Each structure stands twice: as C-alpha cells, then as structure tokens.
Chains A and B, each alone.
Chain A
Amino acid sequence: MNTYRGAVRALLAGSLLVATGFAAGGALAQSKVAVITPYLAQPGTQFYVEAFQAAAKDEDWDVNVIDTAGDVAAVISRIEDMVTQNVDAIVINVDPTQVTAGLQAAADAGIPVIGMDAGSDPLLVTNVTSNGYAMAAETATYVADRIDGQGDVVMFIFEAFPPVQVRSVIADAVFGNFPDINVIDRVTPDVSDGGIADSRAKMEAVLAANPEPGSIKAVWAAWDQPALGALQAIEAAGREGEGIVITGIDANPQARDAIAEGGNFEATVAQDFTGIGTTAADVVARVIAGEEIKQGVIYVPTKLITAANVDEE
C-alpha cells in the first residue's frame, strides 16, 4: 500500500514537474509577456492572439497566453500572478473598468499593461482597436455613392452603447453633407433578443409607411444585426427588387453570407483582428524598448467588405 501511495505521489509530483519544466526551460533573459483574456474561445480574440503570438516569436519573447474561460475576476487574479512574476508587459482583452484591481497592482509594480481591443483606461499604456468613426464613414459613403447622393434613407442606430453611438454620428455627418439625401427614420431596435427580430419588425413598419416602390433608397445600419433584420423585412414584403441598398458593420458570418448572395445587403466593414494582434505586439516591443506611447488609443485600419471581396478571407 505504501508503494501504491508512493507511486501516486511520484506521479503527482512528476506530472507537475514535467509540465512546468517545459514551460520554465529556456526563459533566460527573454522578455516575458502575458496575454490574459476571458474570451479566447471567441473567433475574433483567437485571431488577435494568434497574430500576437506570431509577432512575439519573431521578437523571441516568452509569451504566456492565459484564458480564464469567461471568468473576469480570474483575469484580476492572473494579472496579480503575473505582477508577482514581474513580467515585462501584460496584454489584456477585457473591459479595463472590470479589472481595475489588477491594473492597479500592475501600475504599482511599474508593469505596463496594453489593451488589445479592450477599451480605454487611464491605467492602460494604450488600447489597440478599430476606429468606429472610420468604419461608419466607409459604409455611409458607400451608401451615399450608390444612391448618387439622393433619396430617402433609413438609419438603424443604438446611442446607448458608446462604441455604436460614434458610428451614427459619422453617418449623420456624411448624409447631412448631401442636400438631396433625406434621413426619413432613425430607428433604435430592441436588442434584447439579439437585434435581428425587432429590427425586422421595425423595418416592416417603415416599409408599410412608405409603400411606393423606390420610395426608400437605402438602409444604413450601425451594426450587422439590424441590417439583416431589414433585409428579412424587405424580402418578406417582396420588395427586394426595388434596389434598396443595405449596409452593416462588423462583417459577422451571417452578413458575409448575405453579401455573398448578391442581394440587397451590399456592404459591411471587417475589423482587422490580425492587424490588432500584430499592432499590439508592436506596441509591446516599443514599450519594452523604453519608448513612451503618447496615444491612449491606437487604431488599426478596417476593411470594407462587398460582393467583390467577401470570399477573400
């Protein structure tokens, strides 16, 4: 029985040592960087992290990617552990206001924390993300150009959520710059069910109020769900042949499919997740080299997705 217990203990200690030996090996004088996120299972996050790891390989950093599987408090705990480890930099992909305790611990220890599509915060060196203003400018100008700068446009907006609110500000400015574009409705859909169903219902009401074929030239949506809802409403009303132009933002898979089908949904904007990861790695390299980063936010260019390039990625 003693032998048995000995074996159990040996196995236990052995497994620990093997696992840790691999990780601890070859860490001499390398810069240590931790990437901490609760959202690694999400596709966007995986793109950033993979791009970050690829860039880190070139820099010869020892990167520790930590996924807390949705647990935000654990992000704080892992930041604290990395502060204990005195890493050279920490990269987070989580709302910084929810992990203030961890950011404070890092700040006290003088360890820089960089946001990778995290949100702005005074405790972050900078946040690398996409520019919401620029994304909206892409689709609003697409709409204005497609309808030759004239006609009635329906907007789907959501002002309560700051990242989406900035998009409608830009669309308003673009449409306002065309004297013959008339915004007939600024609809705020109920998003509690995901946004598609209520957007469809609201769009059906707008269509009913504007029964003349050709009376609505375009639907500009601040994100993809209302654009998809509007598309469903237009198809259900049998008005898909009127050439109503629909645009969204975010380039989610459903939106890409709709664009690929070549129907009314013509354009959306894709964030460059890989670019965000690469740029975050670039910022980390500059910070480790001692450079002071002046910008609180660093924007990575986005890409307009239309039928011409929807199949590229």
Chain B
Amino acid sequence: MLTLVRRYGTLVGFAAILVTFWVLLPDTFMTARNWLNISQQMSMLIVVASGMTLVMVMGDFDLSVGSMASLAGIVVAILFTLGYPVWLAVSLALLVGLLGGAVNGLLIAYVGILPFVATLATLTIFSGAAFVVSGGKTISGRVIPEEFGSFARGGLPLGEWGGIAVSIPNLTLLAIAIAALVWVLLEQTTFGRRLYAIGGNIEAAHLSGVPVRKLKLAAFALTGGSAALAGIMYASRVASANPTQGSGLMLTAIAAVFLGSTLSEHGEPRLLYTVLGVLILGVLDNGLTQLSVDSYVRQILVGGIIVLAVSASSLTRKLRQ
C-alpha cells in the first residue's frame, strides 16, 4: 500500500493540478492548442533533462548543462556570422557539446574528481568561453539565417481544429525524438542496463566486468551533446544567442529528474518519468501564467511543489522501512 502511495502520490498530485487548472480555465487550458504550446515551451527542457537522466541514473549529475547550452548557442551564431551554412554550424556546435561533455566524463571517470566539483568547474569554463567567443554581446538580427529562426516557428501540420490550423511544432518533434532515443538507450540496450548497474552499486558493477569508466565518459559526452542541442533549439526559438541564455536550464532539468524519480520503484530516474517531471513543471508555468499568478509567487509555488513531491516520496519510503 505504501509503495503505491509513494509511487503514485506525484501522479495524483499532477492530476489534482490538471483538474484545478481545467476547472479554473475551462475554455483555454485543456485544448489541443494549449498542449501543443506547452510541449513546445518544454521542448528544450525535455532534451536537457533526458541527457541529465543518463548521468543521474549512475548517481552522478552534470551542473554544466546550462552553460553548455549557452555556449552551443553562441558557437552556432558566431559560425553564422562567419558565413557557415546552417547544417555545418549546427553540427560543429553539437560537436562542441559532445567534446565538452567528454571532458566532464574524463575528469570524473579517469581523473577521479567528484561530479559536483568537476562540472562546477566546467560550468564556469563553458560560461567563460561563451562570453569570450561572443565578446559578451547578444548575437541577433540579419546574421542569423532566416531558415534557422523559422525552424523553431515551424511544425508538422495536423489540419484544422475549430477553425484554427494546428501543427505539431518542430521543437516538440525534436524533443520527442531525443526522449525516444534516450528511452531506447536506457531501457532497451546493454548500455542502459549497465548505467543502472553502476547506479545501483558501482563496485559490484566494476567487479562483474562493467567498463565503468568508458560508460561514464560516454554518458557524460551524451549529456553534453543534449545540452548543446537544447542550446541550439533555444537559439532558433529566439533567433539570437546570448552568453547566458541557457543558464536557467540546469536547475530545472535536475528538478524535473528528481520530480520524475518519485514515480519509480526505488526512486531511480526513468526517462518516461523525467518527461512527466518536465510536463508537471511546464503545466505549472503555463497554468499559473494563464491565471495571472504573480511571476515571483509562481517561482515559490513551483519550488514548494518540488519539495512536497520529493519529501512525500522519501517520507513514505522511510515509513515503510
């Protein structure tokens, strides 16, 4: 019974939030258009949180994802100013993400620095690099190719819905693709099972022949890559790049993974639950904004709900023991 309570408490809370918004916003909340908006607004966070899940499965985390997102946005924009085509600029920015993530992996798995310290250091380094490369300025205007900015505004047409053309935003499709990819990696491959083994007991995993270091390196590289992709998506959405624009992603991504992990059997992160965690945060932002709740009160409410969900989950677990 307690397991049920613990596992489904967050879900029930989420349902309560949905019902509350539905009742208070009868015409505008539970509509296809609003949900497509939410999915688009949350797309970047889904990508970062999916990558974050990969390392949090091993009991690690990556504080540098926000500044990596900023750096990747700046890299792509700077390459545009140098006349690079969109595909090449995006590829190179993704490469920067993978390499930056690999540096995190090297520091943690091979040098033996704690993830907190290592990624705190690279957070500062990536952020500094973004400022150096951009000269501290926002890169916007005509140097950003029209096709790059219009990608985030475009989507896959679904047809008419109540007289309004509805389409699935490109950013949403991209986020679904990345989440699906990470889900397959974690749930359907040896790679994923081994990451969970490391998270369960790193010594046992090592003794049973799991190449712990290589896997950590690979997981952190993928996390860096996903952060870079989110940064590129952000740059496309605002058709510009600023050296600090990704900084809000890190804490919310970690919050989403924690929120999601309250749903899993032993409190371990699972990709689908991470996506649900992101959705909870996104729905809160959307619904509270629509209800004209003060932006600062909104922040406090969101933080409070995270505390409630996670403490409810951990307290019920304690009670069971």
Contacts and interface: CB of A to CB of B under 8 A. Distances in A.
Nearest to B154: A101
Interface string A36-77: 000000000000000000000000001011111111111011
A23 B296 CA distance: 13
Interface residues of B, number: 56
User: What does DSSP make chain B's interface, helix, strand, loop or mixed?
Assistant: helix
A20 B24 contact: yes
A152 interface: no
Which of A9, A27, A65, A104 neighbours the largest number of chain B CB atoms within 10 Å of its CB? A9
Nearest to A162: B141
A243 to B, nearest CB: 36
A28 to B, nearest CB: 14
Given A67-B296, A76-B238, A84-B28, A5 B286 contact: no
Contact of A8 (B31, B141, B153, B308): B308
A98 interface: yes
Contact of B37 (A9, A71, A81): A81
A37 to B, nearest CB: 10
Interface string A1-39: 110110011011101110110011001000010000000
A163 to B, nearest CB: 13
B149 interface: yes
B16 A84 contact: no
A8 B312 contact: yes
Contacts, number: 132
A295 interface: no
Interface string A92-107: 0001011111001000
B83 interface: no
B289 A23 contact: no
B4 to A, nearest CB: 10
Contacts of B245: 71-73
B5 A2 contact: yes
Contacts of B13: 8-9, 12
Interface stretch (B99-107, B120-128, B208-216, B297-305): B297-305
Nearest to A2: B5
Given A71-B245, A97-B141, A20 B288 contact: yes
A98 B239 contact: yes
B289 A73 contact: no
A98 B144 CA distance: 11
Interface of B: 2, 5, 9, 12-13, 16-17, 20, 24-25, 28, 31, 33-34, 37, 40-41, 44, 135-136, 138, 140-141, 149, 152-153, 234, 237-240, 242, 244-245, 247-248, 285-286, 288-297, 301, 304-305, 308, 312, 315-316, 319
